[in-house]
Amino acid sequence: MILEWIRFIVGTIILCCGLLIFALEVFGVFRFDFVLNRMHAAAMGDTLGIGISLIGLIIFSGFNFTSLKMFLVVIFLWFASPVSSHLIGRLEVTTDEELENYCEIEDNCQP
C-alpha cells in the first residue's frame, strides 16, 4: 500500500516535470523570433519533455509490455526529433540570405 503511494507520488512528480518542460517549449516557440532559436525550443520539448513524461508513465504502469513499448517510443523519438531539427536548421542556413543579421558564421562553414 505504502509502495503504491510512493510510486504514485514519484510518477506524478516526474510527469509534472515533463509537462513543465513542454510548457517551456511552447512558451519558447511563441516567444523567440528567429527560426533557429525556436527550433531549439521545440527540439527540447520533443526530446527531454517526451523522455521525462514517458518515464513518469512507465513508473505508473510498472514493469510490463506497455512500459517496454513506451521505452521504444522514447528511443524512436530520440532518434527522430534531433535529426529533423538538424534538417530544419540546415535548410534554414542554406536558404536564408540574411543569416548574418541573426548569428555569427564561421568562415569555413559548409552548409
Partner 1 sequence: MKRKNNAFFRWFFGEEDTLIGKVEMKAQPEYEQKEGEIRELMEERAQLREQIYDVRDNTKLKLFHKMYNIAAVIFCITLISILLVNVSWLPHYGDGDNPVNNEVSARYIESGLQETGAVNIVTGMILDYRAFDTFGESNVLFIATVTVLILMRLDKEKKAPAKPGVEVYSKAEDDMTMTIAEAQANDRIYEPKNDAILQKVAGFLVPIIFIFGIYVVLNGHLSPGGGFSGGAIIGAGLILYLNAFGFEKTERFFTEKTYKWICFVALTFYCLAKSYSFFTGANHLESGIPLGTPGAIVSSGLILPLNICVGMVVACTMYAFYALFRKGGF
32 contacts 43 by C-beta, under 8 angstroms: no
Which of 16, 87, 103, 105 forms a contact with partner 1 (CB under 8 A)? Answer: 87
Kindly tell me the burial class for residue 49, based on how many C-beta atoms sit within 10 Å of its own C-beta (0-12, 13-18, 19 or more): buried
Which of 77, 13, 67 lies closest to 45, judged by CA? 77
Contact between 86 and partner 1 (CB under 8 A)?
A: yes
Which of 27, 90, 103, 105 forms a contact with partner 1 (CB under 8 A)? Answer: 90
Contact between 71 and partner 1 (CB under 8 A)?
A: no
Q: Identify residues 12-41 at the interface with partner 1 (CB under 8 A).
A: none
- Residue 32 DSSP SS3: coil
Stretch binding partner 1 (CB under 8 A), from 14-22, 37-45, 46-54, 86-94? 86-94
Contact between 68 and partner 1 (CB under 8 A)?
A: no
Distant-in-sequence, close-in-space partners of 109: CB < 8 Å, separation ≥ 6:
93
**Where on the chain is the footprint of partner 1 (CB under 8 A)?**
76, 79-80, 83, 86-87, 90-91, 94
